[in-house]
Structure 1
Amino acid sequence: MRARLIGLVVVAGIALAGCATGAPFRKIETIPSGKAVIYIYRPSALGPAVQYDVKRGDTVITTMKAQGYYPYITDPGEVELWAETESKASVTLDVKPGEVYFVKAGIGMGFFVGRPRLQVVPREEGEKEIAECCKFVESEASK
C-alpha cells in the first residue's frame, strides 16, 4: 500500500512538472501608450510533458506549458506568432494600439510528439479560459 502511494506521488510530481507555476491570472490594467497586449495561453492540463516555444519571427516570445499564460506587449501592426514541433502552427493578428487579444495554445496528436495548436479566440472566451491559468515565471518565459 505504501509503495503504491509513493508511486502515485511520483507520477503526480512528474505530470505537474510540465505545468506553469506562477501567479494566477491578472489582467494588465494599463496598456502602455501605443502598444497592445496579446495574451498567449494554454488552458488544458493535457500533455504537460509537451512544451513548445511561441515565436515572432526568429524571436522566442515564451515557452508554452500546460495551464499557463504570457502577456505579450507589442507594437501595433501585423503580428504573426508561430510554434513548431513535428509540425508548424501559426496565427496572424492585425494588432491595434490599446487593444487586447487572446491566442489559445494547445496540443494535437502527433506521430512522435504532440503538435502545437494556436488559435485566435474572442475576448470573452479568452477571459473565461485564462482565469484558470498561471503566469509563466521568469525562468519559464523567454527573455
Structure 2
Amino acid sequence: MFKKIAIISVLTAFFTGCASVPMESDDKASKLKEYASPKDGSAGLYIYRTFGPGTALKKDIWLNDECVGQSAPNVFFYKEVPGDTEYKVSTESEFSPNDLMLQAKSGENYFIEQYIKMGVFVGGADLKLVSTEEGKRDLAELKLAKAGECSK
C-alpha cells in the first residue's frame, strides 16, 4: 500500500503543478533574443528549459560549480563567459549531478537545453547542446529567469 501511495505522489508531483522562479524584465529578455555576438574574447551561453514533464520541479544549473540559477518550465538564462575556454555546465539529477562539457569559442553563442527525465523517486534533469536554429526556435516563447539563486 505504501509503495502505491509513494508512486502516485511522485507521479502527481512530476506531471502537475508549475514551478516558478524569479524573473527578469521582458525588455532584458527581448534584448538577449537579438542574439548579438558576444563582446570580443567572450562566448555567450543560453541555458534553457522548455515546457514538458516535471513542471512542478525546479532544478539547479551550475557553470564550473558556480550557481547560474534554478530553472522552471519556459525559462532561460544567459551568461557571457571568457571565450576559448572549456566549461562544465551541470544540473542536479536524482542521485548525482549531470555534466555537459563545452569548449566555448570566442564570438560564438551556444544553446544548452536542460530537460527533465523520469527518475526512481523524483524527476532528474540532464543537459544537451543543441543547434543555433533549434535553440533560437525554443527560446522564442521563453522568459528570462534571474540568475544566482540555487537550492544548495
1:30: Cα distance to partner? 4.9
Q: Is the aligned partner of 1:57 residue 2:64?
A: yes
The gaps in structure 2 that reach 5 residues or longer are: 1-15
Structure-1 separation of matches of 2:76 and 2:34:
11
Aligned-residue Cα RMSD (Å) equals: 2.2
Q: How many pairs align? A: 127
Aligned residue number for residue 79 of structure 1: 87
Structure-1 separation of matches of 2:132 and 2:90:
20
Cα distance 1:44–1:19, how it changes in 2: closer, same or farther (>3 A)?
farther
Aligned residue number for residue 122 of structure 1: 131
Contact 1:19 1:66 in 2 (8 A): no
Structure-2 separation of matches of 1:61 and 1:83:
10
Runs of 4+ in 1 over 6 A off after TM superposition: none
- TM-score, reference length from structure 2: 0.74
The gaps in structure 1 that reach 5 residues or longer are: 1-13
Structure-2 separation of matches of 1:17 and 1:92:
27
* Post-superposition CA distance 1:47-69 (Å, at most 9, x none): 22211111123211121111000
Letter of the structure 1 residue corresponding to residue 87 of structure 2: V
- TM-score, reference length from structure 1: 0.78
Aligned residue number for residue 107 of structure 2: 98
Aligned residue number for residue 122 of structure 2: 113
